[in-house]
Copies of this chain bind each other. A is one copy, B any other.
Amino acid sequence: MASSARLDKVLDSLDRGLPAAIERLKRFLRIPSISTDPAFAGQVREAAEWLRDELAELGFAATVEATPGHPMVVARTPAGTRRSLLFYGHYDVQPVDPLELWDRDPFDPAVEETSSGKVIRGRGAADDKGQLMTFVEACRAWKSVHGALPDGLILLFEGEEESGSPSLAGFLRDNAERLRASLALICDTGMYADGRPAITTQLRGLLGEEIVIRGADRDLHSGSFGGLAANPLQVLVTALAALKDTQGRVTLPGFYDGAPELSDALRADWDVLGFDAGDFLSQVGLRHPIGEPGRSGLEMVWNRPTLEINGIAGGYAGDGFKTVLPAEARAKLSCRLVGTQDPAAIRAALHAHIRSFLPDDCTVEFHPHGSSMASVMDISDPAFATARQALTEEWGREAAFIGAGGSIPVAGDFKRLLGMDSMLIGFGRDDDRIHSPNEKYDVESFAKGARSWARILAALE
């Protein structure tokens, strides 16, 4: 049988099996695997075991593996002639509060008709149980047609993604040899805003820093001390303001080292998306994009670094007024990083900058909060073009290479610890309400997501 005929059979199998696949997903969704709440530890394990059993029944060599936190599920097929692929998803879910804002029990999922089509409603439907099951269902249909699972597959399902992935890096480090593949597939993202299929090929990195400036050993009365005593809030504000010039460019020496100009190819790809920054901002009550002149909105969010003040606290902030000179002032800052910007070098430059503003009577303390370089995938790997073509065929629309303004730490970990690039392909929609009450996943995303993976598996053969 020609491979295209076999693919058609796999797709047929997926279509016929959709009702059963939805019932399987509903069983998975009924397990309240809330990883951040220790009271649900038993249910998190139950979800891992459910997944292992499903995968074992399909013919994977599947195990639940201990970590210092919630377990990992690892499943694999024998190495063969295909290029090896590691597929990643997570089986834990967000908490459900405020429960009173849900229209149904978050762990009693159901298919609902909505004005935009059928949806599967329930916690975890989109993030990430429904998404990870698209790949499992593609494997099931593959096996029903081919008589065997695709070879060279490693499936890795995490149970701590919603609580900061504390065990992930250690697990990858300890199991690097058996988890390394030629490419990772990560299914935890969405389509482009307008529903266009997309592969996320670059993610910004992140650098967080808390700054604490201290002066006197107590809050001072501004009448008695004002004019003589250093005010840590004044020092903080002066130092922070000097981090940017009047055009909003970051003034730290070397900050832009490694921040690359967008390639012409990606620029052309992104231009096609028709992103309108004003429209985008209007969803949160804004209209006027800030940012460097001459750069597009998507470029600003996906391919330019930022330095933002995330929080400041100091002095009296309650009702009314206290004319104090505060003893202490705190700020939390973070940078989004692109290209090969070096978080360590930027952190050092930030420290030097703040210290240069300290008067004799003030001290500063720094608390680092995470640091990751940007993830920029090597899209010259032909898998990217191949997957893009497969997505385009499935959805009947040109699939896009897109970026992401945020960070997806697992992609960075795969690169750093396993030397593996990732193709981030997901089928979520902007209105899926992940992390919120009434989370849903479109039945179309679930069905065509599985079909997309079947096409990608076939094309990468």
Contacts and interface: CB of A to CB of B under 8 A. Distances in A.
> How many identical chains are in the complex?
2
A357 to B, nearest CB: 10
Interface stretch (A215-223, A342-350, A376-384): A215-223
Contact of A317 (B311, B320, B406): B311
A227 B302 CA distance: 9
Contacts of A405: 223-227
Interface string A78-96: 0000000000000000000
A306 interface: yes
Nearest to A285: B217
A331 to B, nearest CB: 8
A291 B406 CA distance: 44
A226 B336 contact: yes
Interface in A338-383: 359-361, 369-370
A233 interface: yes
A56 interface: no
Nearest to A248: B234
Interface stretch (A4-12, A37-45, A127-135, A235-243): A235-243
A321 B208 contact: yes
Contacts of A227: 290-291, 300-301, 304, 306, 336, 405
Contacts of A229: 281, 284, 286, 289-290
A313 interface: yes
Nearest to A232: B309
Interface in A234-266: 234, 237-238, 240-242, 244
A277 interface: yes
B370 A233 contact: no
A226 B288 contact: no
Given A208-B321, A208-B323, A326-B311, A238 B244 contact: yes
A204 interface: yes
Nearest to A226: B306
Nearest to A206: B323
A287 interface: yes
B322 A230 contact: no
A315 interface: yes
Interface string A268-311: 00000000010011001111111100000100110010101111
Given A233-B312, A309-B233, A311-B233, A280 B228 contact: yes
A210 interface: yes
A27 to B, nearest CB: 32
Contact of A321 (B210, B237, B240, B288): B210
A423 interface: no
Top-8 shortest CB links A-B: A223-B406, A241-B241, A311-B315, A217-B285, A313-B317, A227-B300, A288-B360, A226-B306
Given A222-B334, A226-B306, A312-B315, 11 more contacts: A206-B223, A206-B323, A215-B286, A217-B284, A223-B407, A231-B308, A238-B244, A310-B323, A311-B324, A312-B317, A321-B370
22 contacts: A208-B321, A210-B321, A216-B285, A220-B284, A222-B306, A222-B308, A222-B336, A225-B281, A225-B284, A225-B301, A228-B289, A228-B290, A229-B286, A230-B286, A310-B316, A310-B321, A311-B314, A312-B315, A315-B332, A317-B330, A320-B369, A321-B370
